[in-house]
């Protein structure tokens, strides 16, 4: 991911204005790092089938990271999770103010599509990528999941609706990252299979996050932990022990699916995914 980090540094959002800290705030959460999991998935698919397209694919990977970062900034706002820590750094609304955090999130959201529109792909490919990112990150994807999550705080849901919540809030953007990689390299028949795999991966990712929320300190996690008691998390609904069982079942299913991919894709994704698929077992 070293090349991706350099691409990010070379393409940080910039703004020349009289505002004393707007540009610094735009860049702060991006520079704080993070797992870069979604860009790595997209680039992993591209690397498997056409490594010569990796440089061009950086635009799409960066667009996904921009959209994801905006979602974290807004998720941490006082009106939502009211979190003081993200990616090991103080959240923007605590460093500056709530208005700055809201507007920076808005800016990164729209900048993600500006970056994607400038990618060196055909117009057909760019439209397909924009459709995928906007659908899974927007009103029928991540935003819908966030809306359900906030509305039903302190209102327990059944397991089917909790899965629906986290499919939208977490899994759809992970699934879109894999599918976008397939679109870039013209593997459109594989795209839907990767999307379905990504939905399962995203649900596992959320179960693991819920497990780590109650088993890690804030310093270990890089964000506020033990903060989901009022939320519809898997641990809140199922308990820690049963959540670990569910994570194990899903991890084994994903490992089997990963092993059924062709050798190029399996090799490209295995190192990244083996670590993440089993992270709750560490």
Q: pLDDT tens digit string along 47-80?
A: 999 999 999 999 999 999 999 999 999 999 999 9
Q: Which pair of tokens denotes residue 159?
A: 């397991």
- Total structural domains within the chain: 1
Is pLDDT above 90 for 113? yes
Find, among 74, 12, 59, the residue nearest to 181 by Cα: 59
* The predicted structure's pLDDT at residue 75: 96
* The predicted structure's pLDDT at residue 212: 92
The whole-angstrom distance between residue 172's C-alpha and the CA centroid of its chain comes to: 9
* The predicted structure's pLDDT at residue 188: 87
Q: pLDDT tens digit string along 162-178?
A: 999 999 999 999 999 99
- Of all helices (H) and strands (E), which one includes residue 90? strand 89-90
Q: Residues of 206-215 as b/e, b for ≥16 C-beta within 10 angstroms?
A: bbbbbbbbbe
Surface-to-core class of residue 218, CB atoms within 10 Å of its CB (0-12 exposed, 13-18 middle, 19+ buried): middle
* The predicted structure's pLDDT at residue 29: 96
Q: pTM for the full model?
A: 0.95
The whole-angstrom distance between residue 122's C-alpha and the CA centroid of its chain comes to: 25
Across the strands, what pairs with 90? 85
SS3 185: coil
Q: Which pair of tokens denotes residue 187?
A: 């593997």
* The predicted structure's pLDDT at residue 104: 98
* The predicted structure's pLDDT at residue 230: 76
Of residues 274 and 220, more confidence is placed in 274
* The predicted structure's pLDDT at residue 226: 64
Q: What does pLDDT average to over the chain?
A: 94
Q: pLDDT tens digit string along 127-138?
A: 999 999 999 999
| CATH number where 220 lies | 1.10.600.10
In angstroms, the CA 77 to CA 215 distance is 24
- Distances in Å between the Cα of 159 and the Cα atoms of 83, 156, 166, 225 are 25, 9, 11, 22
Residues 6+ apart with CB under 8 A from 173: 38, 64, 67, 68, 71, 136, 137, 141, 142, 202
Across the strands, what pairs with 73? none
pLDDT-above-70 percentage for the chain = 96
Is pLDDT above 90 for 257? yes
* The predicted structure's pLDDT at residue 220: 63
Of residues 41 and 226, more confidence is placed in 41
Q: pLDDT tens digit string along 221-254?
A: 666 666 667 789 999 999 999 999 999 999 999 9
Residue at token pair 């991911």: 1
Print the domain residue range for 172.
Answer: 2-281
Quick one: average pLDDT of 99-106? 98
Is pLDDT above 80 for 106? yes
Percentage helix, strand, coil, to 5, in the chain? 75, 0, 25
Q: Where are the beta strands (DSSP E) in 108-227?
A: none
* The predicted structure's pLDDT at residue 216: 83
């Amino acid at each position: 991911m070293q090349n991706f980090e350099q691409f990010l540094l070379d393409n940080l959002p910039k703004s020349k204005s009289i505002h004393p800290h707007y540009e610094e705030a735009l860049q702060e959460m991006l520079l704080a790092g993070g797992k870069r999991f979604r860009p790595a998935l997209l680039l992993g698919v591209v690397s498997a089938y056409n490594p010569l397209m990796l440089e061009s694919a950086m635009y799409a990977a960066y667009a996904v990271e921009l959209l994801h970062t905006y979602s974290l900034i807004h998720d941490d706002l006082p009106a939502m999770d009211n979190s003081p820590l993200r990616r090991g750094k103080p959240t923007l609304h605590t460093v500056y103010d709530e208005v700055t955090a809201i507007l920076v999130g808005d800016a990164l959201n729209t900048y993600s599509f500006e970056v994607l529109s400038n990618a060196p792909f055909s117009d057909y490919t760019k439209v397909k990528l924009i459709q995928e990112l906007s659908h899974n990150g927007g009103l029928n994807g991540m935003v819908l999941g966030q809306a359900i999550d906030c509305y039903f705080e302190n209102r327990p849901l059944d397991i089917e609706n909790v899965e629906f919540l986290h499919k939208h809030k977490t899994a759809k953007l992970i699934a879109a990252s894999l599918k976008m990689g397939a679109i870039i390299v013209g593997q459109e028949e594989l795209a839907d299979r990767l999307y379905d795999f990504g939905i399962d991966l995203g649900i596992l990712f959320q179960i693991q996050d819920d497990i780590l929320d109650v088993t890690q300190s804030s310093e270990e996690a890089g964000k506020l932990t033990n903060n989901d008691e009022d939320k519809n998390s898997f641990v809140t609904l199922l308990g820690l022990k049963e959540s670990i069982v569910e994570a194990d079942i899903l991890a084994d299913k994903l490992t089997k699916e990963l092993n059924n991919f062709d050798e190029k894709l399996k090799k490209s994704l295995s190192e990244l995914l083996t670590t993440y698929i089993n992270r709750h077992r560490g």
